[in-house]
């Protein structure tokens, strides 16, 4: 009876353009609150990213950093492990920094290209000063201020590799699903042990969603956890839904979950 009354009230007020406008504004602010609760900071030293890798570092011989930018995450990886790191970055200015920083380190293999779901080329919008918001364009033809970059898939890059990817870190400003689709064969063959990907507002730009990511990985028998400053925690999509604000997620095959220490 009460639920029916609430529904009737909502039907009545839904005819108001002002109330609908206010509902959108309130929803957006509440999504921001959810995002701050689940991903309180983008600082990798404080949000649980570095702590997580430190716990798993002894199991990692091959690491892939997709969206390496100027190499902060790669640098931490080198300090925490003895792994070889494949650093993928399409930005010319960021790659110059990577080369200067790691040119003498034979454990870092720099790949100046983007990673996606198909091999080819794409228009890349390069922001100023190695900005972390540089991104692949949503249009097919080059636009003002963009450059054309090579795009590869991880399936193609590692098809002849005898070693699995122990840790795959993805931070590509909304194109994370493209990267995951481009390594479907590796995932199907359990050639990727651990995955970390960033979720944020930019996912809307490419029409991706957290629901899509969870469904895709679950179909491949990968389980997902939320990365927090206090460790990994279960994530209920049915409760939280898509909120499109910053947070980081971790995934591994259900049969490898025992490899993840209690964090």
pLDDT digits (tens, 9 = 90+) for 138-170: 544 445 567 889 999 999 999 999 999 999 999
Do residues 3 and 99 share a domain? no
CB 185 within 8 A of CB 207: no
Measuring CA to CA, which residue among 246, 234, 204 is closest to residue 38?
246
Do residues 113 and 69 share a domain? yes
Do residues 17 and 98 share a domain? no
Do residues 130 and 201 share a domain? yes
Share of the chain above pLDDT 70, in %: 92
User: What span, in angstroms and rounded, lies between the C-alpha atoms of 245 and 115?
Assistant: 22
Per-residue confidence (pLDDT) for residue 139, from 0 to 100: 47
Do residues 22 and 95 share a domain? no
What one-character DSSP code corresponds to residue 42? -
User: What span, in angstroms and rounded, lies between the C-alpha atoms of 117 and 223?
Assistant: 21
pLDDT band at 11 (very low <50, low <70, confident <90, very high): confident
Do residues 159 and 233 share a domain? yes
Q: What DSSP string describes 122-180?
A: EEEE--STT-TT-EE-SSSS--TTEEEEEEE-HHHHTTT-SSPEEEEEE--TT-HHHHH
Residue 80: CATH number of its domain: 3.40.50.150
> What integer best gives the mean pLDDT of the chain?
91
Across 203-231, average pLDDT: 96
Do residues 96 and 154 share a domain? yes
Task: Identify the domain containing residue 34 by its residue range.
Answer: 1-38
CB 223 within 8 A of CB 193: no
Decide if pLDDT at 89 tops 60.
yes
Decide if pLDDT at 189 tops 90.
yes
Decide if pLDDT at 133 tops 90.
no
Do residues 29 and 129 share a domain? no
Do residues 28 and 102 share a domain? no
Do residues 52 and 106 share a domain? yes
* Residue reference for tokens 């701050």: 36
CB 39 within 8 A of CB 246: yes
Do residues 71 and 105 share a domain? yes
User: What span, in angstroms and rounded, lies between the C-alpha atoms of 87 and 111?
Assistant: 6
Distances, alpha carbon 263 to alpha carbons 52, 74, 115, 140, 236, in Å: 8, 22, 30, 43, 18
Least confident of 2-11, 97-106, 176-185, 241-250: 2-11
Across 28-36, average pLDDT: 94
Total domains present in the chain: 2
Do residues 18 and 68 share a domain? no
> CB-based burial of residue 249 (10 Å sphere; 0-12 exposed, 13-18 middle, 19+ buried)?
buried
């Amino acid at each position: 009876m009460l639920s029916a009354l609430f529904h009737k009230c909502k039907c009545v007020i839904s005819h108001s353009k002002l109330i609908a406008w206010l509902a959108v504004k309130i929803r957006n602010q509440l999504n921001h609150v959810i995002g701050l609760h689940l991903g309180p900071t983008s600082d990798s030293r404080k949000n649980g990213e570095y702590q997580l890798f430190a716990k798993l570092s002894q199991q990692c011989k091959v690491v892939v950093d997709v969206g390496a930018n100027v190499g902060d995450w790669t640098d931490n990886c080198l300090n925490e492990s003895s792994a070889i790191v494949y650093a993928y970055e399409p930005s010319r200015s960021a790659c110059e920094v990577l080369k200067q920083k790691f040119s003498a380190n034979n454990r870092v293999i720099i790949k100046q290209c983007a990673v996606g779901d198909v091999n080819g080329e794409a228009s890349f919008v390069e922001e100023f000063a190695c900005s972390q918001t540089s991104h692949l364009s949503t249009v097919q033809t080059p636009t003002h201020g963009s450059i054309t970059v090579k795009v590869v898939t991880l399936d193609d890059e590692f098809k002849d590799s005898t070693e699995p990817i122990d840790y795959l870190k993805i931070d590509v400003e909304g194109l994370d699903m493209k990267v995951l689709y481009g390594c479907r064969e590796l995932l199907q063959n359990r050639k990727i042990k651990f995955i970390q990907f960033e979720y944020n507002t930019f996912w809307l730009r490419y029409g991706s969603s957290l629901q899509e990511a969870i469904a895709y990985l679950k179909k491949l028998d990968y389980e997902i956890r939320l990365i927090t400053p206090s460790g990994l925690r279960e994530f209920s999509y049915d409760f939280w839904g898509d909120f499109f604000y910053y947070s980081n997620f971790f995934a591994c095959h259900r049969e490898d979950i025992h490899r993840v220490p209690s964090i």
